[in-house]
Amino acid sequence: MSRPGNTTRITDSSTENDASQQGVDVTEVRSAHGQPRPSGLETARMPSAAERTRTLVQGTCSAALLIPGAAAAHPGHLAPDLRVIGPDGEILLLYPSGSPAVRAAAPARGDELRAVLELTDVAPVAVPHRVRGRAWVSGRLTLSPAAAEPGRALLRLEVGDLHLDDLWGAGPVDPEDFARAEPDPLRAHEAELLQHLAAAHDDRMLALAALLGHRAGTGPAAVRRVTPLALDRFGLRVRCRDAEGRTFDARFDFPAPVRHVHGLRRALHALFEAAGEAP
């Protein structure tokens, strides 16, 4: 079990440093979209790729269904009104009955209509490189026989292939793992909590720099802003920025995984207490 405020991994977008003298790990690894990204040492305390993908599908991030030949007057017309995971891992998508997606799926038979559900996760607070992740779920699309409310229709996407590219890394996700996975329990509250931390507790967020040791820097290189970036049951990720605009990410483990908002409040209180007691 980690103590509150344990910085298990720091990803750096500035200069190289001697990590062995700082007690943290520093890297220049970045995604294709410019996001700071760890290179492996955080994996002991992180949601699995299947859990992260499931969280995106069942969370609040934006989504669009890409169907060959299905044109829409507006990109939002391909965005489902609701996303639900079925008992076998299939994804049920709710659309207006006259939408391009429903018109394309209605006459489909067998494997003739393939589609891709594209999900884009954007940080709910203002930070550089705001896109936190993307996921693509491809498979067979059909009109679901399940009843929907009047004027609506359910489409069924039978999952074939999944690919995830997020703050943790990029790669394929096993469909069976996806079907068995559970979304993060904090997903429904994450955006509101991060916005609250950024708006009402800016001073306490900056105090977390005390837990970074030498990595907090001095002079012009000192951390001047710490913004909450992502939250899950295992910990809090922040994006740090110095006076010259250089950024790096730090992740703080919670003492134990949290399962609900009340547990999260205790975990954050312990984290801020640790920052206040840091030398």
> pLDDT confidence of 2, banded at 50, 70, 90?
very low
The answer, yes or no, to whether residue 17 has pLDDT greater than 60, is: no
* Residue the block writes with tokens 């955080």: 42
Mean pLDDT of 79-102: 93
Last residue of a domain, one of 180, 198, 228: 180
Percent of the chain scoring above 90 in pLDDT: 61
Region 47-64: mean pLDDT is 95
CATH of the domain at 17: 3.20.180.10
Answer whether residue 1 is part of any domain. no
Looking at per-residue pLDDT, the higher value among 159 and 44 belongs to 159
Q: How confident is the model at residue 194 (pLDDT cuts 50, 70, 90)?
A: very high
Token reading at 234: 């295992």
pLDDT tens digits, residue range 156-188?
A: 999 999 999 999 999 999 999 999 999 999 999
Segment 229-242 shows an average pLDDT of 94
- pLDDT on residue 49: 96
Tell whether 93 and 157 lie within a shared domain.
yes
Domain membership of residue 2 (yes or no) is no
Q: What is the pLDDT of residues 96-141, one digit of tens each?
A: 998 989 988 988 776 689 999 999 999 999 998 899 999 999 999 9
Residue 158: give its domain's CATH number: 2.30.110.10
For residue 221, what pLDDT band results from cuts at 50, 70 and 90? confident
Q: Residues 192, 139: one domain?
A: no
Residue listed under structure tokens 């290179």: 39
Give the residue numbers spanning the domain of 96.
49-180
The angle formed by the CA atoms of residues 103, 104 and 107, to the nearest 5 degrees, is 85
Q: What tokens does 203 get?
A: 């001073």
Domain edge (last residue) among 158, 180, 202: 180
List, for residues 19-39, the tens digit of each pLDDT value. 322 223 333 344 444 444 444
Q: What is the pLDDT of residue 24?
A: 34
205 in a structural domain: yes
